[in-house]
Amino acid sequence: MKIGIDATFIGSEKPTGLGVYTRNIVNELLKLNDDMVLWSSDGGGFNLPQERMRPVLERFRFLGQNRFLVRPVWMELKFPALIQREKIDVLFSTVPGGMWACPVPHVVSVHDLTPLAVPGDSPKAVQLNYRYRLGKILERSAAIIAISASTKDDICRFYQIPPEKIQVVHLAYDKELFQPRHCPEVLGNYGLQGVPYILSVGSDMSRKNLLRLARSFAALRNHSHCLVLAGLHSPEVKKRLLAEAAAVAQGAELRIRFLDYVRDKDLPVLYSGATLFCYPSLYEGFGLPVLEAMACGTAVVASNTTSIPEVAGQAALLVDPTDCEALAAALDAVLDDAGRREAMRAAGLKQVTSFSWQRAAQEILSVLQGAVRSWPARHPPAAD
């Protein structure tokens, strides 16, 4: 079976989470089925030989990163002919995308539907793409892969796609990187050596729920810890977070620290050094930081919403993220009980063994094979 990989969204910039997913899945799929062609603007990180790589959007390089604005039109007008020329058996789009009229069975991965579920966190153009274009692509696809049961439910809810067309295949994490790591020097570089802290990782998008986290932190009985927020946060959001904490308890704002940029290799040290990790997000397609924190042996307090319970299982303390009193009580309960933290640490390390890129690739390959087998039945040849 010849697999075509639609990685046309990847450019030469530092890979996003979607890029990391694509590279891991493709490299694992390659071990199972080496007959593969990949379309991308940047081949870095893929284990495919160069002759299997197909550069895209080359004539638009003069636009820089803006060349990806022409990608949807290019996908509809040019990509189908390239697919037919390669004689692939199935096309796998690793992110929500592709084309309306794919000439071969088309399988699409959907990570979340944030532009529809939390529209304020996405640009208008992305909202319109999800509302008007993606639905048709998914409707006409041979199969859909959702990275969580929660995302599967969203696909059914927003697009009225039959559930039997959607296969849940969970993400995984980098097992070589995310494991318990203790390095005083790295903590010192971030000003955290010897400082007890609660860690949270994420951007300042509204769904990350950081304002409620700031309020809950300020209300803690245990005032010896700092709250460390790792991720990009605008000056305006930082100011609001500090004001929220100060409004609950004067001086609490002085114990909130922002780490705007953290190197990937330092993240495990930050996870491992935290007394606990808190992830109060209102909406997630998966919630990978929860998995990463547990893999580093850190107790986790997180939301009981969307996909997070799937990832955390019984290993984390899950609470209503809209209830600041409940969130503060959960944080206090874990901070005050070393025995409970150790039990959560052990449960988390066990929970993460259920997730692997190898398993995900095997499940995706099965979906691709099924799409090829069912294609004639779904699209019978036209009568003469």
φ and ψ of 54, to 5 deg: -125, 110
Tens digit of pLDDT per residue, the chain (384 long)?
999 999 988 764 455 678 889 999 999 999 999 999 999 877 678 999 999 999 886 665 555 555 556 778 888 889 999 999 999 999 999 999 899 989 999 999 999 999 999 999 998 988 999 999 999 999 999 999 999 999 999 999 999 999 999 999 999 999 999 999 999 999 999 999 999 999 999 888 999 999 999 999 999 987 789 999 999 899 999 999 999 999 999 999 999 999 988 998 999 999 999 999 999 999 999 999 999 999 999 999 999 999 999 999 999 999 999 999 999 999 999 999 999 999 999 999 999 999 999 999 999 999 999 999 988 654 444 443
- Please answer whether residues 207 and 283 qualify as being in contact, where contact means their C-beta atoms are separated by less than 8 angstroms: yes
The C-alpha angle 65, 54, 358, rounded to 5 degrees, equals 95
3-state secondary structure of 383: coil
**What whole-number distance in Å separates Cα of residue 61 and Cα of residue 165?**
37
Strand ranges (E), the chain: 3-6, 36-40, 53-55, 90-93, 106-110, 143-146, 166-168, 197-201, 226-230, 256-259, 276-279, 300-303, 317-319
Nearest CA-CA partner of 236 in 217, 266, 210: 210
Query: How many residues are there in the chain?
Result: 384
Q: For the chain, list the domains and their CATH numbers.
A: 3-172+356-378 (3.40.50.2000), 184-354 (3.40.50.2000)
Looking at residue 371, its amino acid is A
Give the position of tokens 């153009």.
Answer: 125
| CB-neighbour burial class of residue 241 (10 A; exposed 0-12, middle 13-18, buried 19+) | buried
**What whole-number distance in Å separates Cα of residue 127 and Cα of residue 153?**
19
- Please answer whether residues 159 and 139 qualify as being in contact, where contact means their C-beta atoms are separated by less than 8 angstroms: yes
Q: What is the pTM of this model?
A: 0.91
3-state secondary structure of 148: coil
